Amino acid sequence: MKIRKKLKIASKQGLHARPASMFVETANKFISKVTVIKGDIVVDGKSILNILTLGVEYKDEIIIEVEGEDSQEAIDSLGSIILKENV
């Protein structure tokens, strides 16, 4: 099953260093394929370098796309990281 979710970055740090690391660490706990989309750029959500190359800032909108047998649990967990204000 494929699930897409559009989210606005809540952390004033954006999706850099520590929050990106937390995102990737969480993504790698799941079997599902994780993709992150910002504008026209599509990257593997399980790669810290790919996430950092997006340059996601505070209040930017991204789309998380998860496909696989544990997709709902994965997108819920990843969404909670994006929506935390103090990561």
> Cα–Cα distance between 16 and 12 in angstroms, integer?
10
Q: Which residues contact 41 (CB under 8 A, 6 or more apart)?
A: 53, 54
Nearest to 31 by CA among 63, 69, 1: 69
Among candidate residues 7, 10, 13, 16, the one labeled active-site is 16
52 touches 20 (CB < 8 A): yes
Tell me the residue type at 46: K
* 42 assigned to active site: no
In the block, which residue shows the tokens 């789309």?
63
Residues carrying an active site annotation: 16
